[in-house]
Amino acid sequence: MIMSELERVTEQENETIKQGKCPDCGGELYITARGGLALNVACDCGAKFWVAYPFTAERIAKGVNYAKAD
């Protein structure tokens, strides 16, 4: 599900993303777009994130296994 606004991920999710893993399903993340210091990364489950270290990653889309209560 594509979100209308970016959502900052938790510190635990951010650490998982730094390791190249999807915090929603544990799958491998891959780069979908790059610009300057920022990257968009995605997983096959549908999760997408904006990453620009040292900043905390932000969620663009939720994966199909996203279990966090809204």
Backbone angles phi, psi at 58, to 5 degrees: -125, 145
What token pair was written down for 18?
């730094």
What is the reported pLDDT for 69? 43
What is the reported pLDDT for 63? 87
Helix spans in 1-70 (H) = 11-18
Nearest alpha carbon to residue 50 among 66, 28, 64, 35: 35
What is the reported pLDDT for 65? 67
Rg (CA), the chain: 11
Which residues of the chain carry a pLDDT beneath 70? 1-4, 65-70
